[in-house]
Amino acid sequence: MTPPPPRHGQSGLTLVEMLVALVLFALIGLAGLAVLNTVLRVNAGTEGRLERLAQIDRALSLVSRDLQQVAPSAIVVSADEVRFTRRLATGDAALRYVLRDDRLLRIWPAGGADAPVEQQMLDNLRGVDWQALDAERTWQATWPPDDAEAPPPLALRMTLRLAESEGDAPWTVTRTVELPARAPQ
């Protein structure tokens, strides 16, 4: 066997080399921390927006379902609310959708002497516009029209004006629901 080569006094790391390695390691760690922080902030913002979109989707789905089961009765559309009767398996229920304090509320009678039930559908609303489509295919801001002989509306349209915070410009979401065909009244 051959003996190992002799060691010289300069084999090893100097203090300067060690400090350079530590500085490089610290810079890589800081860069990784900055990337992680950015990813977490973007994730938090995305989750908030996805929750808001899910809330809007749930509200629009419920409004559509209610309007697709309208009973053959009067539908009333005004500037800040819509009222109609929804046909249920247990009987008819009078429903109202009202804008109150920047919130869209769904209100229905609880039955008996109890106060009506108010379900908050959306918050942070800048406004809600309801329109009814008449037989001449014209959108009306109020319903029923002055003409007492007017046939029931063909569809209802809801336009939501939303904003995430006070400073944001409102953006709109519109849902149009065709009403079920009804026998003449």
The long-range contacts involving 102-106, CB below 8 angstroms and separated by at least 24 positions, are 102/126, 104/59, 104/128, 104/160, 106/62, 106/66
**Segment 118-146, tens digit of pLDDT:** 899 888 888 899 999 988 899 988 888 87
Cα 33 from Cα 50, distance rounded (Å): 26
Q: List the chain domain ranges.
A: 31-178
Q: pTM of this prediction?
A: 0.69
5: preceding bond cis by omega (within 30 degrees): no
Instruction: Provide the 8-state DSSP code for 143.
Output: B
Lowest mean pLDDT among 88-97, 146-155, 159-168: 159-168
How many CA atoms lie less than 13 Å away from 24 in the CB half-sphere? 6
Share of the chain above pLDDT 90, in %: 29
Question: 115: which 2 tokens?
Answer: 């106060």
pLDDT on residue 184 = 47
β-sheet with 117-122: strand ranges across: 76-77, 81-88, 91-100, 103-108, 117-122
Share of the chain above pLDDT 70, in %: 86
pLDDT band with cut points at 50, 70 and 90 for residue 8: low
Q: Which residue has the higher pLDDT, 45 or 69?
A: 69
